[in-house]
Structure 1
Amino acid sequence: MTAIIVAGVQYHALCNPVIFLDNKQMNFITFPEPQLRSFTEQVFLKMGCSEADATLAADVLLRSDLRGIDSHGVARLVGYVRLWEKGRINATPNIRVVHETPTTATVDGDAGLGLVVAPFAMKLAIEKAKIYGSGWVSVKNSNHFGIAGYHSLLATEHDMIGISMTNASPLVAPTYANERLLGTNPMCYAFPAGKYPPVVVDMATSAAANGKLEIAQRAGKAIPEGWAQDKDGRPSTDPNQLKAGGSLLPLGGDKDHGSHKGFGLSATVDILSAVLSGANYGPWVPPFVAFMEPSANPVGEGIGHFFGAMRIDGFRPADDFKHHLDNWIETFRNARPVDPAQRVIIPGEPETAFEQERAINGIPLIDAVVNDLNELATKLGVAALG
């Protein structure tokens, strides 16, 4: 299944609502979640990861696929392997705290998988919050950490609000610019509710995540206007323009639609993730693709992340908060709609629906991704997906 209905809106797992609904031309193969999980673990083991790290890294990727965020799931596995082959990912990192106070810390990821480094840092923030009410951890010398939502949701399991963000390789032009200076720089806030799933605000600060353009390229589909511009700064709906020297646009698309706000949010992520931690920032962030070399004159170490955990009972009793967040959810769900057939969607609701559906019916992958993974299996000597 490539789409589900949530509150009258058809959500496609590859991108935003009501985009690419003509996906019938795309070929999908559905795999049971345990099969993909086992395959992914075997790949990480072949990279030299410990069993614990391979299990954790696979869990982060599979959670992305389960939640319908296909651009950050197993489709990214080939990219991690290529970076490892180039010596840019350390499969056996010595992840350590290099600066610390009771409520804050900076972690050096030792060039490890961000899929492993990020949970280490978030769990550290949670442990600090258990003692002092809140914990804040910045990270340097890391790599791509998967979906931000995975890490923020760790805090909600402890009646805490979770915050996670990361900078990324420069693909986004700031408002008024025609130069790649920022990454898609996602941020996520997760809030535990009572009888409902957590409210999860997980988003890129660009108009679209690069992974969505990659999926569009594989599918041979156009992208919506406002996502990207060509090398001359002109709006483009061609997802291949990014490879041709173009750039993504900040959230808002252009100056007439609030792109300065997306620029400001992206700047915030970059500063907290990297300027604060000692990681590379702005145009110096190393690229995720292996064929592009990192800057010869870096200003920091690796990619940077930032995490926060706040105990709800540091502000009010947790049960009171969750009761009122349930009420908040119901109030917004019942808002008077423009279209009677479509109610308000609560942040995180489509991802929860996908997770419930895919856990039962399996995870669909487009055939191009399956081919990439089977080629990877042959190269590494693991069993192919079939």
Structure 2
Amino acid sequence: MPTLNPTTTIFSAEQLRRFTTRVFIHFGVPEDDAVLAADVLAYSDEHGIDSHGIARLKTYVDLLHAGRINPHPEIKIIRGKGSVATVDGDNGLGLVVGPKCMELAMQKAQEHGSGWISVSNTNHYGAAGYYPVMALKEDLIGLSMTNTTKGVAPFNGAEKMLGTNPIAMAFPGLSEPPVLIDFASSAVAYGKVEIASRKGQTMPVGWCIDKDGYATQIPAEMMQGGALLPLGSTTEGSGHKGYCLAAMVDILSAVLSGANWGPYATPFAITVAAMDRQVGKGIGHFFGALDIEGFRDKTEFKQDIDDWIQTMRSTKPLPGTQGVRIPGDPEREAYASRMQEGIPVNHEVVASLEDVAALTGVALY
């Protein structure tokens, strides 16, 4: 049984994986695909990325229940040349389309030295960091990115035109853990606003604007017609850099693949009305894999990654901080804790899972 407190319920990782898998199977997702989709969501919960895990299950269920996601897609290459290809996801779960396309990028990297896959006709694929971690298992450098539903104002803009458009990349070490980079090109992921709203908290200055374009710290003011800001937020913070990153992700993921780009990206939440104009199919992803041996000796590279990590860790710490951490450290620390102590799930998310359980007949507890 889960452990309860007034604001969260503690579940084991296995409980959440089992529930998620059975829910997807209920909607006709083949068992292997259901296990895969559950694994992608579990990665987020188990690594402390609460905005992209089980909290998103209700939305996938709503879309499956409404027939707006294909539970058994025919994922196919529609164009390719050497190390590059474009894939049509056939409107399948992004949690299934994403891993299969990352596998294709890895196969091409092992054959050609690199692999690059652009994907259209898909939807939300979970945490971007899941995919380069797949590449690490084959000693490859991995990369993933995706465009998302509009929620971010472009630099100097006062309305939503771009998604949070995350980027993730991973580099294997030898004795040290891998360097895992995973961040949104917005000042913060939308899920962080949702978390602040659930907890009744205000947000830091620089995250959001309200419907009139003014800075706000109130989650509801952003969620009711406002927008997130690009990474850097303002002119003083070099917000143009986050805007440029978002543009790069949008173009590689969506314009290149033939998916909907910018403000036309297909909404993930079922409560959001469909866009009046469609410029492609679904949303888009972009995956990359690099064979280190094509550049230099793999072991020597990994030794140098170890040296890089150790050098960064030895940096003189900023006063009042714990010192320099390596990209991926927070996720590793959360994993160690949560696999031992369990995964805390906010009471509002638990309520949504109870709704899913009632709808599907799949036991949550």
TM-score, normalised via structure 1 length: 0.92
Match of 1:301 in 2: 281
**Paired residue total:** 361
Give SS of 2:51's match.
Answer: helix
The partner residue of 1:40 within 9, 17, 20 is 20
TM-aligned CA deviation for residue 226 of structure 1? 0.5
TM-aligned CA deviation for residue 360 of structure 1? 1.9
- For the 8 Å contact 2:135–2:141, the answer to whether it is kept is yes
Identity %: 50
Please, which runs of 5 or more residues in structure 1 have no aligned partner?
Answer: 1-24
Give SS of 1:141's match.
Answer: strand
Residue type at the aligned position of 1:127? Q
Residue type at the aligned position of 2:70? N
Q: Distance in 2 between matches of 1:384 and 1:188?
A: 32
Map residues 198-347 of structure 1 onto 2, 5 A cutoff: 198-339=178-319, 342-347=322-327
Q: Distance in 2 between matches of 1:74 and 1:55?
A: 14
Q: Distance in 1 between matches of 2:136 and 2:15?
A: 28
Q: Distance in 1 between matches of 2:293 and 2:48?
A: 32
- Deviations 1:227-266 (Å, cap 9, x if unpaired)? 0000110000011123311000000111211110000000
Q: Distance in 2 between matches of 1:196 and 1:69?
A: 22
The 1:324–1:340 alpha-carbon spacing in structure 2 relative to 1, beyond 3 Å, is: farther
Q: Distance in 2 between matches of 1:358 and 1:246?
A: 34
- For the 8 Å contact 2:141–2:291, the answer to whether it is kept is yes
TM-aligned CA deviation for residue 195 of structure 1? 1.1
Residue type at the aligned position of 2:111? I
Match of 2:109 in 1: 129
Match of 1:153 in 2: 133
Q: CA RMSD in A?
A: 1.2
Q: Distance in 2 between matches of 1:195 and 1:241?
A: 47
Task: Write out the 4+ residue segments of structure 1 that deviate beyond 4 Å after TM superposition.
Answer: none
Q: Distance in 1 between matches of 2:357 and 2:182?
A: 31
Give SS of 1:148's match.
Answer: coil
- For the 8 Å contact 1:197–1:352, the answer to whether it is kept is no
**1:186 corresponds to 2:166:** yes
Match of 1:163 in 2: 143
TM-aligned CA deviation for residue 288 of structure 1? 1.1
Q: Distance in 2 between matches of 1:340 and 1:377?
A: 45
Match of 2:120 in 1: 140
- For the 8 Å contact 1:378–1:384, the answer to whether it is kept is no
TM-score, normalised via structure 2 length: 0.97
Residue type at the aligned position of 1:104? V
Q: Distance in 1 between matches of 2:249 and 2:69?
A: 23
Match of 2:96 in 1: 116
Match of 1:29 in 2: 9
- For the 8 Å contact 2:166–2:182, the answer to whether it is kept is yes
Q: Distance in 2 between matches of 1:220 and 1:346?
A: 31
Q: Distance in 2 between matches of 1:384 and 1:337?
A: 45
TM-aligned CA deviation for residue 293 of structure 1? 2.4
TM-aligned CA deviation for residue 338 of structure 1? 1.9
Q: Distance in 2 between matches of 1:26 and 1:118?
A: 36
- For the 8 Å contact 1:107–1:139, the answer to whether it is kept is yes
Bigger mean CA offset, 71-80 vs 362-371: 362-371
Q: Distance in 2 between matches of 1:238 and 1:88?
A: 32
Match of 1:14 in 2: none
Match of 1:8 in 2: none
Q: Distance in 2 between matches of 1:214 and 1:87?
A: 26
